[in-house]
Chain A
């Protein structure tokens, strides 16, 4: 294998050239080498590349990622809906004219707020930035949000509240290897980002991997055989586990008292709040033996620096975040980390494990309803003035905050709600909760425009589909789960007339009367993004393509060209007004849609290794689709016996929102009171037709991860009333 140059030219490479880039899928952003193969069935060959995060490893999704470049049904030309319900191919000029005309007409008739934009956590930093700018300066509507709302919003809200900053992991991933203990709550990286597991080897060797998950997942099994502890709480009660562990740490005098004194405030309220969660009480709520909770607390404390340990990390995932108490649950994890004195110390720490490819960068550059680039608040006059200055517009011309994703989707086509929606890099009819209602919402629109590379289920509902480039066909940057800014590099040209969103936004802007400010060169966009972020929390102003192409590993904040970046944040203090971390007392509440007589089983949702998000990409890869061809429900044999289900037969699952029919897989890895579905599929077995769109009051995160469900053999339909 030839060693690819980090400083590959930004354009398409010559045949045989190797291009250093990163995987198109998750936030681990495994380093890849793409070798162009002009005579092959696929335009590039993919190989793993040595990098601090993946250490050369790739999972099956990454290895097969080139298949999506040549998906059989790839959209290669703009498509316009015809009166008979189909699509016809169109030239770009016609499609863009049509979109611009319809947007203009709708905005003239109903006001600027009649247009909404929905972005995605898979878009490059440049695209996310341009999309936010386009929304605020060309469409001038407040209504933009993105699927990161379904991903990282609870973790972001909790981190911002506690630390004044959210950088995902505030330390290099490789630091995990030196710790004595790693506590993982609601993340199954053994399946979702397998190369991550290499960094857990140290903790496992020392018996210190603690996994909290209602299922015995692949990741939970990593803690078996003396390598750690798996705690399997009743779904929706992870917070109780955290409160009880914190209780034990305090009750047994294991806290880092000096750290709490010097680096935090609000501890007293937290101490009082956990006094009510003694282990025996927690046991009756979360179903984990009191002594297991104590053992876990002692293990974590022994690993903490104040007790002479080599360090401990607390990591959260969607399992604890996608709850109506998601922000509170992450706060409980942060409180535990602070009580143990882990945060802002080399060798220890707290961090949420970001999911989507650019889930970190995607939440920093202005596609979130309340944010401007640099992780700035759109309600902050100084932030508005700074960004407006970079954009060359008047601060007062910028709209205020919009609404979070679930509310935005629900308002579509309703009185006073948006009548037009532009979707970029998201497949909401599969990935949003209460998916049947989302489909209805989209049907109420006067105009739906979807930019996608394949005809996703959402694209198929559009009035206009605009074909876009992906991954190996484009340049840009992605920010991974540890806040490291990475270069995505172009290896091949896109098929047909697919174009980058940067170009599309520029063309639309021009048609909507804004001729400047939307270059299609990602390098130029990044340079502007860097300026816009200057002085913000997520400060990229010292980063440019030249530094990245020269091989520099830069984690933000990086406020100047001679700044090396910040591998570990908070070492000197927290970016809060007084430099201390803020502790907030939180308490547990039951799920919004809790089990009851006619829906006595918990439904939890998650992922399988072979598919990514809504499956729009991975379901089009034959090897992945063959390994995981269809939706399924995991059922414990005891539950199956009670309701008369057998392996492989179809079960009907019914919640207060919808029904799904899927085949049954019997497994003891799921609790008998719980069933599990992966959410990657559309159609009759689509998990998100069942999930709850109730949201966290602070983050707007929907409660994907727990709802009450009735399950029965397909031959015996059931009725479920609203909770």
Chain B
């Protein structure tokens, strides 16, 4: 089967890798417009923050004879009647199935002076590909101030990353609260406070109107409210736009993205599929790589199992509650823990019986809200609580039942509950097991001491306590000491507790 994949990003490369692994007859041509090998785009903000080496971003690329990867080559047009793709070099690529994984483009908002006919003004950048990341990194040593436009997930990651590199960062956001799609008022406020502690100033309900240059490079920005601020760097994180140009030109139905059914095929052409950021499935695109990878896996699975063209519909569990296990949004920023999943922020209750339980603790930068429906976690917002964030997301993605009282999800982490402090020997009951390895109780040890055992080794000989892992030998020594102080006449050799040899040696 001849397959052409347009796009060699995170989703396209995963799809190709999975496909050739599963289908020994698949012959794949991949057109990738970037000259790089496929890489982990999700980590670009970590590269900017200096936390991830660019060299560690490369993703698997199927090195088999059945895959032809054309790097630095984009698709120019799709001829659906001839079933072929023409690339930017003029080469024709016939296909039996065509998969669009063209991803999305960074949205460049209408800012005066931000670009000229040579492209973006030096100092101004988006963060969509590796070249962007390198450009930003290269500018950091000369920069003192930065403005980040757009307080979505990427904006927060870039802002904290630049702040951690020592820049004074202002995060400018058009909406009244940051991450407004994911966060409600209280969570956004807590997050704003956390950002301030990390050196990021948040300005909301405004935007950048002008980029001002000096000697051909960015020197300041003017906001829509007229405020001017000096800056050496402007990073625009104003969202993405699905890349649909090819599909539109080929007459495929497109709205925000390339329209596909639950089977990921275009309703207009059963041979054409779209996955990842460029696709608009019935449940809507989230822009998260987890959704794109899930689509890639599902499409490969359905091709392999049925031989028919379309993918199975997404799992049934995405029921009336809108539970989508891939819909976990996680800000990747050192010192800032913001995670949302499913229903979060301001959501409509609709017909559902929802329980929303929240804890707001702004003084220490903590906010947790869980949303429960029919015994399942259908949404959560977590700011500033790593343990709750990880436990809740593991629970959400598996659709596991919640405790009888959902408040338990908030007031205590699900795992690693605190242990009682070690019991003082005086407080131990006689049946308290001191030596786990040999099931020896305090009572037996005390009795052995009463019978004349004066050292840890004596006790070990008499009771076997301390002869397994040896961890209880200090407790045994303490018991001997307590007995000695209660019976001053009896001998004590608790200095022997440090002797390395165990009983029977």
Q: Is the CB–CB distance between B46 and A222 below 8 Å?
A: no
Q: Which residues of A contact B415 (CB under 8 A)?
A: 216, 232, 287, 671-672
Q: Is the CB–CB distance between A284 and B330 below 8 Å?
A: yes
Q: Which residues of A contact B397 (CB under 8 A)?
A: 284-285
Q: How far is the CB of B294 from chain A (nearest CB, A)?
A: 13
Q: Is the CB–CB distance between B394 and A285 below 8 Å?
A: yes
Q: Is the CB–CB distance between A642 and B403 below 8 Å?
A: yes
Is A571 interfacial (CB-CB < 8 Å)?
Answer: no
Q: Is the CB–CB distance between B394 and A287 below 8 Å?
A: yes
Q: Is the CB–CB distance between B390 and A198 below 8 Å?
A: no
Knowing A194-B468, A289-B386, A610-B439, the reply to whether A673 touches B504 (Cβ < 8 A) is no
Q: Which of B57-65, B142-150, B185-193, B482-490 contacts A (4 or more CB under 8 A)?
A: B57-65
Q: Which of A269-277, A330-338, A350-358, A472-480 contacts B (4 or more CB under 8 A)?
A: A269-277
Closest chain B residue to A644, Cβ basis: B404
Knowing A48-B504, A60-B437, A291-B386, the reply to whether A273 touches B60 (Cβ < 8 A) is yes
From A196, A247, A288, B56 is in contact (CB under 8 Å) with A247
Q: Which residues of B contact A627 (CB under 8 A)?
A: 439
Q: Which of A90-98, A108-116, A249-257, A429-437 contacts B (4 or more CB under 8 A)?
A: A249-257
Q: Which of A33, A59, A218 has the most CB of B within 10 A?
A: A59
- Report Cα–Cα, A224/B419, bound state, in Å: 10
Q: How far is the CB of A99 from chain B (nearest CB, A)?
A: 41
Q: Which residues of A contact B469 (CB under 8 A)?
A: 57, 59, 190, 194-198
From B39, B436, B503, A609 is in contact (CB under 8 Å) with B436
- Report Cα–Cα, A218/B419, bound state, in Å: 12
- Report Cα–Cα, A49/B503, bound state, in Å: 9
Is A503 interfacial (CB-CB < 8 Å)?
Answer: no
Contacts between chains A and B (CB distance < 8 A), count:
195
Q: Is the CB–CB distance between B438 and A59 below 8 Å?
A: yes
Is A292 interfacial (CB-CB < 8 Å)?
Answer: yes
Q: Is the CB–CB distance between B504 and A56 below 8 Å?
A: yes
Q: Which residues of B contact A671 (CB under 8 A)?
A: 414-415
Q: Which residues of B contact A271 (CB under 8 A)?
A: 56, 58
- Report Cα–Cα, A639/B501, bound state, in Å: 44
Is B332 interfacial (CB-CB < 8 Å)?
Answer: yes
Is A407 interfacial (CB-CB < 8 Å)?
Answer: no
- Report Cα–Cα, A216/B418, bound state, in Å: 11
Is A595 interfacial (CB-CB < 8 Å)?
Answer: yes
Q: Which residues of B contact A59 (CB under 8 A)?
A: 437-438, 467-469
Closest chain B residue to A278, Cβ basis: B43
- Bitwise, A414-428 to B at CB < 8 A (1) or not (0) is 000000000000000
Is B320 interfacial (CB-CB < 8 Å)?
Answer: no
Knowing A194-B437, A222-B471, A627-B439, the reply to whether A283 touches B505 (Cβ < 8 A) is no
Is A127 interfacial (CB-CB < 8 Å)?
Answer: no
- Report Cα–Cα, A247/B58, bound state, in Å: 11
Is B401 interfacial (CB-CB < 8 Å)?
Answer: yes
Q: Which residues of B contact A687 (CB under 8 A)?
A: none
Q: How far is the CB of A513 from chain B (nearest CB, A)?
A: 48
Q: Which residues of B contact A288 (CB under 8 A)?
A: 390
- Report Cα–Cα, A585/B63, bound state, in Å: 13
Q: Is the CB–CB distance between A251 and B393 below 8 Å?
A: no
Q: Is the CB–CB distance between A287 and B390 below 8 Å?
A: yes
Q: Is the CB–CB distance between B59 and A197 below 8 Å?
A: no
Is B68 interfacial (CB-CB < 8 Å)?
Answer: no
Q: How far is the CB of A215 from chain B (nearest CB, A)?
A: 9
Q: Is the CB–CB distance between A600 and B408 below 8 Å?
A: no
- Bitwise, A552-593 to B at CB < 8 A (1) or not (0) is 000000000000000000000000000000000100000000
Q: Which of B39, B40, B59 has the most CB of A within 10 A?
A: B40
Q: Which residues of B contact A196 (CB under 8 A)?
A: 469
- Report Cα–Cα, A56/B456, bound state, in Å: 14
- Bitwise, A202-238 to B at CB < 8 A (1) or not (0) is 0000000000000010100110100000101010000
- Report Cα–Cα, A204/B40, bound state, in Å: 36
Q: Which residues of A contact B471 (CB under 8 A)?
A: 190, 197, 222
Q: Is the CB–CB distance between B389 and A56 below 8 Å?
A: no
Closest chain B residue to A291, Cβ basis: B386
Q: Is the CB–CB distance between A58 and B468 below 8 Å?
A: yes
Q: Is the CB–CB distance between A600 and B53 below 8 Å?
A: no
Q: Which residues of A contact B355 (CB under 8 A)?
A: none
Closest chain B residue to A610, Cβ basis: B439
- Give the contacts of A613-634 with B (CB-CB under 8 A): 623, 627
Q: Which residues of A contact B502 (CB under 8 A)?
A: 48, 55-57, 195
Q: Is the CB–CB distance between A609 and B504 below 8 Å?
A: no
Q: Which residues of A contact B505 (CB under 8 A)?
A: 48-50, 55-56
Q: Is the CB–CB distance between A284 and B400 below 8 Å?
A: no
Q: Is the CB–CB distance between A595 and B400 below 8 Å?
A: yes
- Report Cα–Cα, A63/B502, bound state, in Å: 14
- Report Cα–Cα, A275/B51, bound state, in Å: 14
- Give the contacts of A280-304 with B (CB-CB under 8 A): 280-281, 283-292
Is A73 interfacial (CB-CB < 8 Å)?
Answer: no
- Bitwise, B231-274 to A at CB < 8 A (1) or not (0) is 00000000000000000000000000000000000000000000
Q: Which of B61, B416, B437 has the most CB of A within 10 A?
A: B437
Q: How far is the CB of B398 from chain A (nearest CB, A)?
A: 6
Q: How far is the CB of B466 from chain A (nearest CB, A)?
A: 8
Is A668 interfacial (CB-CB < 8 Å)?
Answer: yes
- Report Cα–Cα, A269/B59, bound state, in Å: 9
Closest chain A residue to B418, Cβ basis: A668
Q: Is the CB–CB distance between A57 and B467 below 8 Å?
A: yes
Q: Is the CB–CB distance between B403 and A638 below 8 Å?
A: yes
Q: How far is the CB of B164 from chain A (nearest CB, A)?
A: 14
Q: Is the CB–CB distance between A58 and B504 below 8 Å?
A: yes
Q: Which residues of A contact B390 (CB under 8 A)?
A: 283-284, 287-290
Is B475 interfacial (CB-CB < 8 Å)?
Answer: no
Q: Is the CB–CB distance between B56 and A48 below 8 Å?
A: no
Knowing A60-B439, A272-B61, A642-B403, the reply to whether A673 touches B39 (Cβ < 8 A) is no
Q: Which residues of A contact B470 (CB under 8 A)?
A: 57, 195, 197-198
Q: Which residues of A contact B200 (CB under 8 A)?
A: none
From A48, A221, A585, A642, B60 is in contact (CB under 8 Å) with A585
- Report Cα–Cα, A196/B469, bound state, in Å: 7
Closest chain B residue to A627, Cβ basis: B439
Q: How far is the CB of A676 from chain B (nearest CB, A)?
A: 13
Knowing A55-B501, A251-B52, the reply to whether A275 touches B46 (Cβ < 8 A) is no
Is A452 interfacial (CB-CB < 8 Å)?
Answer: no
Q: Is the CB–CB distance between A278 and B58 below 8 Å?
A: no
Q: How far is the CB of B264 from chain A (nearest CB, A)?
A: 21
Q: Which residues of A contact B298 (CB under 8 A)?
A: none
Closest chain B residue to A292, Cβ basis: B386
Is B464 interfacial (CB-CB < 8 Å)?
Answer: yes
Q: Which residues of A contact B39 (CB under 8 A)?
A: 275
Q: Which of A63, A218, A286 has the most CB of B within 10 A?
A: A63
- Bitwise, B368-405 to A at CB < 8 A (1) or not (0) is 00000000000000000011011101110111111111
Q: How far is the CB of A191 from chain B (nearest CB, A)?
A: 8
- Report Cα–Cα, A475/B214, bound state, in Å: 90
- Report Cα–Cα, A244/B393, bound state, in Å: 16
- Give the contacts of A663-683 with B (CB-CB under 8 A): 668, 671-673
Q: Which of A50, A194, A623, A627 has the most CB of B within 10 A?
A: A194
Q: Is the CB–CB distance between B46 and A49 below 8 Å?
A: no
Is A641 interfacial (CB-CB < 8 Å)?
Answer: yes
- Report Cα–Cα, A703/B446, bound state, in Å: 45
- Bitwise, B51-88 to A at CB < 8 A (1) or not (0) is 11100111111000000000000000000000000000
| Cross-chain pairs A/B with CB under 8 angstroms, 5 sampled | A47-B504, A55-B505, A57-B470, A251-B53, A278-B52
**4 more A-B residue pairs beyond the given contacts A56-B501, A284-B328, A284-B393, with a C-beta to C-beta distance below 8 A:** A194-B437, A251-B43, A601-B400, A623-B439
**A: which residues have CB within 8 A of B?**
1, 33, 47-50, 55-60, 63, 190-191, 194-198, 216, 218, 221-222, 224, 230, 232, 234, 247, 250-253, 269, 271-273, 275-276, 278, 280-281, 283-292, 585, 594-595, 597, 600-601, 609-610, 623, 627, 638-639, 641-642, 668, 671-673
> Top 4 A-B pairs ranked by shortest CB distance?
A287-B394, A48-B504, A194-B468, A56-B505
